[in-house]
């Protein structure tokens, strides 16, 4: 029976998942490297909950009680009580493997370790821990409080029971889970690679502007957001890391190749909405 959920990383995704978990009635322990990062994650959660109260989606009592269920810490020790941990630190295999090794040494033997990775190999992350059967991908979408889909990714060693518990947890959080195999980018990020990649190539070749491409994709394709709006929402750095990861894992398959525009924007620190400047100004 899951009662406490540990979340590693209090950024865009970690804070959003913490909010969803607390609203679903779970106790949450949210961890990050610094107090500053934790406070900004917690502030985002407060703002979202307040907005939900204003829009009559939840009552003020539910908002207050949900917030009270979230504890934050820069230390790993408060995660000891977690029955289920969701890692949402940056998209870097070595950092994720390091986190999982630390968790392996301290959590109870039944605890499940999930990673919110967008593209990295669940099998490779699991290989660093003793209880490989308890490691699973639990891929939420941005923003977690609004997006319904959760990809439950079965690594080579993930047990059927771990996958079933994860599917059930996603449902208790009000999400629509889909089980998939461990393949670079899973389902959505694999399908989405050409969406961003071709848009970047069109832009790079001067075929059309950012605004025109976004407008046409929405108008004719029926998409809610264009590729550039979406990259700004995701974070250019996050999207670039995912593109590189899928490209490398598919042995440099040309159709997944990143674009120099992405690299240059990361170098310039124009990362999208979070830095108030990306393909658009905010
Ligand atoms: N942004 C998206 O649209 C999106 C969607 C789905 C999945 N993801 C995945 O979720 C993960 C997090 O992405 P994000 O957009 O929230 O990134 P982010 O940069 O907003 O947040 C990452 C957080 O992790 C923290 N962190 C880094 N190393 C850590 C460590 N060793 N221990 C604890 N905390 C650490 C950072 O301080 C930061 O606060 C990535 O794996 C990403 O691929 C992102």
To the query of whether residue 118 is one of the catalytic residues in this protein, the response is yes
pTM: 0.94
* CATH value of 189-275 in 1.10.260.40, 3.60.21.10, 1.10.287.3510, 1.10.1040.50: 1.10.1040.50
To the query of whether residue 252 is one of the catalytic residues in this protein, the response is no
* Calpha distance 213→165 (Å, rounded): 41
Q: How many CB atoms lie within 10 A of CB 29?
A: 24
Residue of the nearest CA to atom 27 in ligand 1?
89
Is the separation of the CB atoms in 46 and 123 below 8 Å? no
SS3 content of the chain, % helix, strand, coil (to 5): 50, 15, 35
Kindly report the backbone phi and psi dihedral angles of residue 84, in degrees, each rounded to the nearest multiple of 5, phi listed first.
Answer: -150, 130
Which numbered atom of ligand 1 lies nearest the CA of 117?
41
Rounded to 5°, the CA angle 183-235-244 comes to: 40
Q: Which pairs with CB-CB distance under 8 Å and at least 24 residues apart come from 46-53?
A: 48/16, 48/19, 48/145, 49/19
> Does the domain made of 4-181 have the CATH classification 1.10.357.10?
no
Question: Alpha carbon of 12 to those of 16, 138, 233: distances in Å?
Answer: 6, 15, 10
Intra-chain end-to-end CA distance of the chain, in Å: 43
Ligand 1 centre from 203 Cα, in Å? 28
- pLDDT in 10s for each residue of the chain, 282 residues: 899 999 999 999 999 999 999 999 999 999 999 999 999 999 999 999 999 999 999 999 999 999 999 999 999 999 999 999 999 999 999 999 999 999 999 999 999 999 999 989 999 999 999 999 999 999 999 999 999 999 999 999 999 999 999 999 999 999 999 999 999 999 999 999 999 999 999 999 999 999 999 999 999 999 999 999 999 999 999 999 999 999 999 999 999 999 999 999 999 999 999 999 999 999
Domain extents for the chain?
Answer: 4-181, 189-275
């Amino acid at each position: 029976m899951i009662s406490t959920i540990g979340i590693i990383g209090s950024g865009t995704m970690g804070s959003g998942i913490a909010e969803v978990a607390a609203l679903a009635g779970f106790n949450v322990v949210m961890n990050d490297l610094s107090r500053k990062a934790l406070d900004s994650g917690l502030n985002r959660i407060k703002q979202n909950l307040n907005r939900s109260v204003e829009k009559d989606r939840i009552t003020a009592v539910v908002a207050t009680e949900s917030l009270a269920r979230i504890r934050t810490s820069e230390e790993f020790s408060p995660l000891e009580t977690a029955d289920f941990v969701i890692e949402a630190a940056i998209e870097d295999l070595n950092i994720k493997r390091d986190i999982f090794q630390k968790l392996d040494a301290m959590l109870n033997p039944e605890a499940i370790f999930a990673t919110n990775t967008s593209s990295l190999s669940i099998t490779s992350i699991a290989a660093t821990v003793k209880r490989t059967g308890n490691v699973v991908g639990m891929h939420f979408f941005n923003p977690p409080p609004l997006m319904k889909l959760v990809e439950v990714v079965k690594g080579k060693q993930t047990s059927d029971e771990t996958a079933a518990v994860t599917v059930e947890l996603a449902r208790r959080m009000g999400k629509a889970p889909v089980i998939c195999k461990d393949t670079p980018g899973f389902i959505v990020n694999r399908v989405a690679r050409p969406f961003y990649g071709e848009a970047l190539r069109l832009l790079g070749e001067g075929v059309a502007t950012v605004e025109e491409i976004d407008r046409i994709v929405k108008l004719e394709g029926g998409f809610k957001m264009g590729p550039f709006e979406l990259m700004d929402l995701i974070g250019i750095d996050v999207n670039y890391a995912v593109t590189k990861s899928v490209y490398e894992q598919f042995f440099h398959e040309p159709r997944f190749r990143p674009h120099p525009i992405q690299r240059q924007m990361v170098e310039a620190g124009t990362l999208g909405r979070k830095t108030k400047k990306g393909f658009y100004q905010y």
